[in-house]
Copies of this chain bind each other. A is one copy, B any other.
Amino acid sequence: MDFRVRAATKEDCKDISRMIMELAVYEKMPDQVEISHKELERDGFCQNPFFECLVAEVPEDATRTERFTVVGYALYFYTYSTWRGRAVYLEDLYVMPAFRGKGIGKGLLCKVAEVGRKKECVRLQLSVLDWNTPSRDFYAAKGAQDLTASEGWHFIRFDGQNLDKLANEAPKD
């Protein structure tokens, strides 16, 4: 199938927002989604954006609905390893079910790797759910390491009241 990958624009945020929800449904956590295209527009297309995004699109006549030509996205940002330096983190990689198995997901992943390489990133990182075997296999087949399995890294999070409490207890300047 013909497809192309390009940098997302502000005008893509409604499509991206729709696909973020589709991905959350797949990950069985749709109630976790609390942001809309407005926050994406504000946070991704400002002077110091919090993320960058690529979209995959197909020619209109190949889509089922003819309403959407954007059929996938990869949202990422830059992180930093104090051991190795610059890295790129792939927050979301998604291709609509009807368009899977055609190399679009791999195309998005490879493009993020290329973008990261241009910024001298030495790592591309991401996270997957343990039951998500298709995704784990997809990444493993391309040479990814599972650091939770091999080195024992765990994700830790503060949010809500626990985060407020920390912030309120910060030492005064």
Contacts and interface: CB of A to CB of B under 8 A. Distances in A.
B80 A79 contact: no
Contact of A113 (B79, B113, B158): B158
Given A81-B91, A128-B153, A144-B156, 15 more contacts: A3-B171, A20-B83, A35-B84, A43-B85, A51-B80, A77-B79, A79-B91, A80-B91, A82-B91, A107-B170, A110-B166, A114-B167, A117-B167, A123-B157, A124-B159
Interface in A114-131: 114, 116-117, 122-131
Contact of A156 (B111, B116, B139, B171): B139
Contacts of A110: 166-171
Number of copies: 2
B151 A129 contact: yes
B84 A32 contact: yes
Contacts of A126: 156
A75 B82 contact: yes
Contacts of A163: 113, 116-117, 122-124
Contacts of A77: 78-80
Contacts of A116: 163, 167
Contacts of A97: none
Contacts of A4: 171
Contacts of A6: 173
